[in-house]
């Protein structure tokens, strides 16, 4: 999709972090933006920010784990804007459950798979038919993660497994859309490989679990970023953050040039990828993995 101005974008997980930065950037490109998120406080703040900047926005509370909720998102989008050209399936949650993988419960797996895999599937099931019927250029961006889609981190299995599954889902989607002759591009975004480094978003911290995903006992709400920064301080390591605008730029370039794999080339992450593929081809154990500390 070469031009964005005047077109309509839907961004899930658009209330905070990468989704909100992306929405702002798409708005600045002249797109009408539908911001969809589970967290209504974040949505209200994002809406304020967009309207203060005179950007055209519609906010819709959504739970991507529920097909009916994503159906309602489509209806609200079409009612307001009449069409849709860009879908960013971006909603995400932190890794669920900690400790040995064999001790995890169904609830840990289900929440992650429902958000990261089924959430993306729901977005595609609902919006692809609309895009096909429009018969105009359109594009879908699915947010995966280096952790899972490219090289899994053993200590975060529910997150890494779901992101890897969603990456494969996106490859199948791309292939089927090509086979169907659809004018719909697909990208998989890996927000990784940036310099100086970390992205300061809500994904670091665990959220209150919806009741349907409650495990057999209450889970501590792990404040991942605080723990990380504390450890870095103890070790005398400097931590720097990458502006979220860099991720938004990457998406705009990816969509307008129709790139499937959206990750920043860096020597370190490229080497990890090579190591991974070589370990598979040469039938070696996956030595590229960091040693798990349970």
Ligand X SMILES: NC(=O)c1ccc[n+]([C@@H]2O[C@H](COP(=O)([O-])OP(=O)(O)OC[C@H]3O[C@@H](n4cnc5c(N)ncnc54)[C@H](O)[C@@H]3O)[C@@H](O)[C@H]2O)c1
Beta carbons of 120 and 166 less than 8 angstroms apart: yes
# of chain residues touching ligand X (CB under 6 A): 28
Query: What's the CA dihedral at 139, 140, 143, 148 to 10 degrees?
Result: -110
Active-site annotation holds for 159: yes
Question: Whose Cβ is closer to ligand X: residue 96's or residue 145's?
Answer: 145
Among 27, 97, 157, 191, binds ligand X (CB under 6 A): 191
Decide if residue 62 touches ligand X (CB under 6 A).
yes
Beta carbons of 19 and 88 less than 8 angstroms apart: yes
Among 4, 8, 11, 18, binds ligand X (CB under 6 A): 18
Q: Which of 159, 169, 194, 213 is catalytic?
A: 159
Question: Whose Cβ is closer to ligand X: residue 59's or residue 177's?
Answer: 59
Decide if residue 64 touches ligand X (CB under 6 A).
yes
Decide if residue 250 touches ligand X (CB under 6 A).
no
Beta carbons of 158 and 104 less than 8 angstroms apart: yes
The DSSP annotation for 100-122 comes to -GGG--HHHHHHHHIIIIIHHHH
Shortest distance in whole angstroms from residue 41 CB to ligand X: 9
Decide if residue 115 touches ligand X (CB under 6 A).
yes
Greatest extent of the chain over all pairs of C-alpha atoms, in Å: 57
Side-chain-side CA neighbours of residue 216 (13 Å): 4
Decide if residue 12 touches ligand X (CB under 6 A).
yes
Decide if residue 143 touches ligand X (CB under 6 A).
yes
Beta carbons of 60 and 126 less than 8 angstroms apart: no
Decide if residue 158 touches ligand X (CB under 6 A).
no
Decide if residue 128 touches ligand X (CB under 6 A).
no
Among 59, 199, 251, 255, binds ligand X (CB under 6 A): 199
d(CA 42, CA 48): 10
Decide if residue 193 touches ligand X (CB under 6 A).
no
Question: Which secondary structure element, helix H or strand E, spans residue 130, and what is its range?
Answer: helix 119-134
Q: Which one, of 8, 59, 63, lies nearest residue 30 by Cα?
A: 8
Q: Which residues pair with 205 in a beta bridge?
A: 223
Which range of residues in 33-41, 71-79, 171-179, 286-294 is near ligand X by CB under 6 A?
Answer: 33-41
Decide if residue 148 touches ligand X (CB under 6 A).
no
DSSP letter, residue 258: T
Among 8, 42, 57, 60, binds ligand X (CB under 6 A): 42
Shortest distance in whole angstroms from residue 156 CB to ligand X: 11
Tokens of 74: 């489509």
Binding residues vs ligand X (CB under 6 A): 12-13, 15-19, 37-39, 42, 62-65, 90-93, 115, 143, 145, 191-192, 199, 201-203
Provide the annotated active-site residues.
159
């Amino acid at each position: 999709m070469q031009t964005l101005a005047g077109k309509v974008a839907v961004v899930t997980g658009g209330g905070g972090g990468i989704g909100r930065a992306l929405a702002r950037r798409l708005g600045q490109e002249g797109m009408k933006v539908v911001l969809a998120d589970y967290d209504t406080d974040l949505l209200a703040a994002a809406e304020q920010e967009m309207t203060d900047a005179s950007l055209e926005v519609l906010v819709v509370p959504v739970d991507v784990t529920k097909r009916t909720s994503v159906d309602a998102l489509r209806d609200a989008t079409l009612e307001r804007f009449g069409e849709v050209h860009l879908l960013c399936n971006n909603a995400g949650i932190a890794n669920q459950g900690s400790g040995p993988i064999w001790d995890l419960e169904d609830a840990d797996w289900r929440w992650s798979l429902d958000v990261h895999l089924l959430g993306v599937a729901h977005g595609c099931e609902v919006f692809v038919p609309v895009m096909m019927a429009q018969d105009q250029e359109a594009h879908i961006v699915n947010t995966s993660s280096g952790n899972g889609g490219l090289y899994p981190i053993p200590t975060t299995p529910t997150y890494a497994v779901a992101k890897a599954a969603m990456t494969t889902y996106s490859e199948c989607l791309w292939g089927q859309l090509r086979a169907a002759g659809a004018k719909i591009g697909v990208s998989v975004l890996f927000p990784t490989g940036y310099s100086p480094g970390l992205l300061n978003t809500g994904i670091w911290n665990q959220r209150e679990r919806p009741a349907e995903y409650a495990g057999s006992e209450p889970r501590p709400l792990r404040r991942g970023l605080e723990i990380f920064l504390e450890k870095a301080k103890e070790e005398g390591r400097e931590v720097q953050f990458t502006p979220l605008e860099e991720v938004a730029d990457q998406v705009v370039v990816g969509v307008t040039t129709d790139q499937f794999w959206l990750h920043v080339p860096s020597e370190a992450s490229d080497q990890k990828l090579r190591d991974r593929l070589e370990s598979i081809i040469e039938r070696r154990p996956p030595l590229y993995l960091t040693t798990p500390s349970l």
